[in-house]
Chains A and B, each alone.
Chain A
Amino acid sequence: MTTKSLDISSAPLDARSKYLRRKIVDILKFGRRGHIGAAFSLVEIFRVLYDDILCYDPQNPYLKKRDRCLLSKGHGCLALYTILADKGFFPSKELEKFCTYEGLLGGHPEHKIPGVEASTGSLGHGLSIGVGMALSHRHEKSPARVFVVVGDGECNEGSVWEAALCAGKHKLESLTVLVDYNKQQSYASTYEVQDMEPFADKWRAFGFAAIEINGHDPQELKENLKKIPFESGKPNAVICHTIKGKGVSFVENNLNWHHKNKVTDQEIESLLKELSDA
């Protein structure tokens, strides 16, 4: 079980968090499918990264000095697409073509999409890529920072820990791993399938400075991410305690919504009703 119990259930979502979730639901209207639970789990993490933390220019997505943000748990892409469109990396109309033959956006993010740093989808790849980028930046004396968003289930992959060892060895202060710790994986809870606890201590043992925060509280996310690097000579790990499906009662912690096919009009209506500002 968790070494640190964080109460993350009570805080209501503000208007922006609800708005971004409604945009995700809008995509479902067209694609009728997607990893909705993971997307809702990630909304505040991406919102704060792109609103308050990352340096980037949507008009110049390959700017050398930009901060790199990699979604290693590629199946959470609906949240990433929504924020990238919101920031103007590509036209919002692309969201309406999700998973279509002529569309830009598929069920996992690809590097051809402006704002997407690396193609992901198979788990356990993003952190090593991020480490390589950070090592390259160090050689160039670039101010660019690297943020890699990983899932809790993804951390079952040995390759995540190979990458963590390497980041620790190189004391990559410019690298931050954000763990979307929603405690649910595809089959069941992380405790049942593969318990990662003590999670923060694992990252610490691999040389990271690790903190645990409420991954749905924009203020808490912002305040903590502004403090990076947390410790001199250590990469950063932010364990974001989250709720899979956060924001909609019948989606929260409901594994039927991990990946949903054939989403109905009625379901979309119910989702939007719970996410309305009223």
Chain B
Amino acid sequence: MRKTCLDQVYELALTDPRIFFVGSDLGYETLKQFKNQMPDRFFMEGVSEQNLIGISAGMAMEGKIVYANTIATFLSRRCFEQIVLDMALHHVNVRLIANGGGLVYAPLGPTHLAIDDIAILRAVPNMTIVAPCDAEEMKRLMPLTVDYPGPMYIRIAKGGDPIVSSNRIPFKIGKAIPVREGGDALIVTTGITLGAALKAADVLAKEGITAAILHMPTIKPLDKETLLSYVRQTSVVVTIEEHSVIGGLGSAVAEAVLEANFDSVKNFKRIGIPDVFPSSYGTQDDLMKLYGITADNLCVVIKQLMGLKISYGF
């Protein structure tokens, strides 16, 4: 997905002279072609995230469309004030390409695990947050990022993730994608968790339970209209994300659903990383299993919520 994203930046830059690329101290030969062919629009500025965002904002104030890239934790935490003030307050066209959103860097430990990036950035006015589920969805997203107004955070998954998206519904920033219909439960996904939702829905279907899936590649602005139209049709809503349960997709959905004041009861659960620093290494998959960000756990949670509904009233 990262490769697709950066390849797209290169492709888009070939025909659009407004596009600049600014990296920190990325891997050897990252975007080599871009650097060779458009050296005056390629910047690798070292391990200095505050400056990375500041100069990107300055370029964007002059009309450039700047793709700024480094690791998600460093982008969302280290230079937060530059993001808020230089980028968001000025409403400039800087696109943050955040490598390793979620548990991707599991072997590297908590300094590199972006478990809170969505929560942090959701609170920033003017910010748009997108988290595609696979490389194909990334390909559909990137051309739309060029002229989308204002700052944007593009959350990148591990890479090589199974292709689970389809182009059946045109991709639009700010729009949810209905992936599957079903009346017993609604699963709301962002990023790679669409894969787990599809698997869970298949398993549940075999047991006679129909689960709708609503994919939210844009977390902010949240497509409340589509979300609420799907929530209206069911009494069980589960969100699943590779992020803390605090402040991410689950929180955004909970806020929207509660404020809709439905007459009927909605049984609700957020699946995500609990309020902890992951203390184990291993692989991304290992940590996803540890925190139940899996198809198996989705099935369990949905069945529990359906059961809870029956015995509700304690």
Contacts and interface: CB of A to CB of B under 8 A. Distances in A.
A125 B62 contact: no
Interface in B57-72: 57-64
A133 B54 CA distance: 10
Contact of B54 (A134, A140, A159, A169): A159
Interface in B77-130: 81-82, 85-86, 89-90
Interface string A127-138: 111111111111
Given A135-B55, A136-B58, A159-B50, A128 B82 contact: yes
Nearest to A139: B40
A135 B58 contact: yes
A106 to B, nearest CB: 13
B239 interface: no
A165 interface: yes
Interface centre among B20, B40, B41, B86 (most CB of A within 10 A): B86
Interface in A110-152: 111, 117-119, 122, 124-125, 127-140
Contacts of B161: none
Interface in B11-34: 20
Interface residues of A, number: 28
B48 A166 contact: yes
The B interface is mostly helix, strand or loop, or mixed, namely helix
B54 A137 contact: no
Nearest to A146: B58
A139 B61 contact: no
A129 B57 CA distance: 6
Interface in A198-227: none
A197 interface: no
A129 B191 CA distance: 32
The A interface is mostly helix, strand or loop, or mixed, namely helix
B280 interface: no
Contacts of B60: 132
Contacts of A125: 54, 81-82, 85-86
B51 A163 contact: yes
Contacts of B82: 125, 128, 159
Nearest to B82: A125
Interface centre among B20, B59, B63 (most CB of A within 10 A): B59
B14 to A, nearest CB: 16
B143 interface: no
Interface string B178-222: 000000000000000000000000000000000000000000000
A136 B40 CA distance: 9
B55 A131 contact: yes
A51 interface: no
A166 B55 contact: yes
B286 interface: no
B50 A129 contact: no
Interface centre among B40, B45, B56, B62 (most CB of A within 10 A): B62
Contacts of B159: none
B204 to A, nearest CB: 50
Contact of B48 (A129, A132, A133, A162): A162
B51 A131 contact: yes
Contacts of B171: none
Contact of B46 (A130, A133, A165): A165
Nearest to A132: B58
B118 to A, nearest CB: 24
Contact of A162 (B51, B81, B85): B51
Interface of B: 20, 40-41, 43, 45-46, 48, 50-51, 53-64, 81-82, 85-86, 89-90
Among all A-B residue pairs, the 4 with the closest Cβ atoms: A132-B58, A128-B54, A132-B55, A162-B51
22 contacts: A111-B89, A117-B61, A118-B86, A119-B90, A122-B85, A125-B81, A127-B54, A129-B58, A129-B61, A131-B58, A132-B54, A132-B58, A132-B60, A133-B59, A133-B62, A135-B58, A162-B48, A162-B51, A163-B55, A165-B46, A165-B51, A166-B55
